[in-house]
Amino acid sequence: MNNREKKIIVGNWKMNPPTIMEARRIFGGAKRAASKIRRAEVVICPPFIFLSALAQSAKNSRNISLGVQNIFWETAGSYTGEISPTMVLSTGAKFTIIGHSERRILGETDNQVAKKAVLALKLGLRTIICIGENSRDEKGEYLNFLKNQIKNSLQGVSGKLLENLIIAYEPVWAIGGKEAMRPGQVEEMGIFIRKILADIYEQEAAMKLSILYGGSVDAKNAEAIVYQGNVQGLLIGRQSLEPESFKAILEVM
């Protein structure tokens, strides 16, 4: 089984945990669990401040990589408070999330997402672009919203840059909630997203892209979402901070 066939399980720690000690403990759990599974590669995205310490711990481990939750669209310069993809790569991290809904709520635009994605992909970071509707309406306007969001967030991402691109479909209404989307709906949305990608790129390239699902995934629903929902992996928030739950999710992959 090569890396492309493995499911991709990404833990998004958001602005947690409060201390480096806690971060080491949670990461240790993920590392042990990741070393025992074959059918998934595990990616942990901690806050930037913990990245270097955890990178040391990840160095000789099997099946686990680090990523970040955001990057900037320039490699260096007068951008107070920002972190460049070059810096991220220098720690040994391999992934970045871009355009998470919690950043979009703070004002991040599709245009900024696209600029970040182009640079990250050019530099060789595996880039997870998050997309997803805020809510649903009976007329299906949310599908148009999603179509525009995907097209605009991929502006300037040429076909040549697709090798390291991953799409995370995260319906915003399912993030941080009680219930995930049903696997049948996840599958339908995956087909819809791939159709939009096939409008932008070649059909074959669109078929090869990995699509992840995110939003209230837990150990009970993870297997059905991945295997009935027909997605290539999961983006997991809260449950990635709970070592036992995260381990249980990895075990059903």
Q: Residues interacting with ligand PEP, by CB under 6 A?
A: 12, 14, 170, 175-176, 214-217, 235-238
Give the span between the Cα atoms of 232 and 60, in whole angstroms.
25
Nearest approach, Cβ of 217 to ligand PEP (angstroms)? Answer: 5
- 36 in helix, strand or coil? coil
From the list 170, 179, 188, 223, the catalytic residue is 170
Give the span between the Cα atoms of 17 and 84, in whole angstroms.
23
Judge whether 100 counts as a catalytic residue. Answer: yes
172 versus 206: smaller Cβ distance to ligand PEP: 172
71 versus 206: smaller Cβ distance to ligand PEP: 71
Q: Which residues lie below 8 Å from residue 173, measured CB to CB, with a gap of 6+?
A: 133, 134, 135, 136, 215
Burial of 130 (0-12, 13-18, 19+ CB in 10 A): buried
From the list 41, 82, 100, 204, the catalytic residue is 100
163 versus 244: smaller Cβ distance to ligand PEP: 244
Q: Report which residue's Cβ sits closest to ligand PEP.
A: 237
Whole-number CA gyration radius for the chain: 17
Nearest approach, Cβ of 35 to ligand PEP (angstroms)? Answer: 23
List the catalytic residues. 100, 170
